[in-house]
Amino acid sequence: MMLPDPRPSVLTPPKNGLLDLVATVLTASEAEQPAAQQRLQMAVAETLMMRDQQSLALALQFASSQDAYKTLWHALCDVLSQLPDGRQTAVVFALPVILVVGSKEATTLSGALTDTASMLATLQRHGLIAEDAVCHLFPELLHPESLAAISMPDLYRYAETIDDVELGLPFERLPAPVPAKDEAVFVRYVLGIAMQPAGAPPVLRPQSHGAWAMEVMQQLKTQLHHPQVTLFPIPIQPQVLPEALRQGAAFRLEVNMQVFASGIIRKLREHNLPIVAIASAHEGGELRFTISTPGEAKHMAAYAWPLAALDSVPHIVENFSALMKECQVSDVRLIPGIQANEVNGVPFFISSVDPEAQQVEVH
């Protein structure tokens, strides 16, 4: 059994030219796909060039399915990576960094790196960025909110007009120091600009974690070292800015779930208490997870995952189940149906003492 998807569906999408082209891509034959994709990319580029942020936002908001959203999203990222008319492009990208920090005393980690040149050299040597690319990484660790404030039309304008990667973007890059107290998970972004020559293969070349990640992780640990802080940095492959923001947010939630689970499981095991793990889907588009001990509501920790448009419910639930298996928790219960968001004005989390959990098959 899997959990249902609690995100509301779009019943009647408004008339939108981008959505019409998305539908054409989804129904095109294999032979028709390249032309259909090209028409969609050209329409996305024209929408950005006309600074019509509203049409793009509405198309994403009212995409009829996750496949439709994914098709439009990938077209947007492709346009921001390489202009569809083949001209030289300035690709604005970011390297997401998940920071798992622990500290007994309240302190702060630096919001800036000291050697981005070595980090860039590592990324290029391992092929995540073309080795001959004209490229620059900026030292500030940026908060996601500051980067999310850059509009898609502005990103397109930068792609068309920037010709000096070291000058950066016309907005203030404010370092976002990391507050360290107890155990917590943060996401920060290292901003970069790379020139995409006309007709050349993409300068950004995503690949799975490997030797590059270990090297960049060590560089981050060295440059952000603080004697009072335990730091475990996790770099994610550089991507064009909107995709980097999406992946960074999703991976932070995943790592946060791991930290939440390991903390409460450790405490319950210290007291030799049995453990029940519960996953449920809730109105408003959230998955919620609890770890508790049977018959005692006070021994419970809860975690909420607000679902973004491209999140996969099966993937998240499978990861949670795999995490419980790794932690040797055998009593894992998936609650059927979509549950209430609140009960008596309080967010509703299901623990092992609730009726919803009593007659559920253990996985």
Strands 230-235 vs 276-282: parallel, antiparallel or unpaired: unpaired
Distance (Å, rounded) from C-alpha 250 to C-alpha 224?
Answer: 23
Query: CA-to-CA distance for 186 and 110, rounded, in angstroms?
Result: 13
- For the residues of 191-221, what is the DSSP string, one character each? EEEEEE-TTSPPSB----SSHHHHHHHHHHH
Extended beta strands in the chain, E state: 89-109, 135-142, 178-196, 230-235, 239-240, 276-282, 286-293, 296-306, 332-339, 342-343, 346-347
CB atoms within 10 A of CB 139: 18
pLDDT in tens, the chain (363 residues): 689 999 988 777 778 899 999 999 999 999 999 999 999 999 999 999 999 999 999 999 999 899 999 999 999 999 999 888 888 999 999 999 999 999 999 999 999 999 999 999 999 999 999 999 999 999 999 999 999 999 999 999 999 999 999 988 888 899 999 999 889 999 999 999 999 998 899 999 987 668 899 999 999 999 999 999 999 999 999 999 999 999 999 999 999 999 999 999 999 999 999 999 999 999 999 999 999 998 776 788 999 999 999 999 999 999 999 999 999 999 999 999 999 999 999 999 998 888 888 767 676
Would you state the pLDDT for residue 101? 96
Q: Which residues pair with 277 in a beta bridge?
A: 291, 332
Q: Give CB contacts under 8 A, 24+ apart, made by 55-60.
A: 55/16, 55/17, 55/18, 56/18, 56/152, 58/14, 58/16, 59/16, 59/18, 59/19, 59/22, 60/309
Please report, as a single letter, which amino acid is at residue 215: E
Q: Name the region of 272 (left: φ>0; alpha: ψ -120 to 50; beta: rest).
A: left
Residue 163 — φ and ψ, nearest 5°?
Answer: -130, 0
Cβ burial, residue 203 (10 Å; 0-12/13-18/19+):
buried
Residues 209 and 312: their CA atoms lie apart, in Å, by 20
In this predicted structure, what is the pLDDT of residue 121? 97
**Cβ contacts of 243 within 8 Å, gap of 6 or more:** 73, 77
Return the structure tokens found at 227: 């004697």
- Distance, in Å, from the CA atom of 299 to the CA atom of 90, rounded to the nearest integer, reads 53
Q: Under a CB-based contact definition with an 8 Å cutoff, are residues 40 and 75 in contact?
A: yes
The predicted pLDDT at position 363 comes to 65
d(Cα 349, Cα 284) in Å, to the nearest integer?
Answer: 14
Q: What is the pLDDT of residues 257-288, one digit of tens each?
A: 999 999 999 999 999 999 999 999 999 999 99
Q: Tell me, what amino acid is at 78? A: D
In single-letter form, the type of residue at position 284 comes to G
Q: What is the pTM of this model?
A: 0.94
Helices H / strands E in the chain, number of each: 11, 11
Output phi, psi for 206, to 5 deg: -60, 145
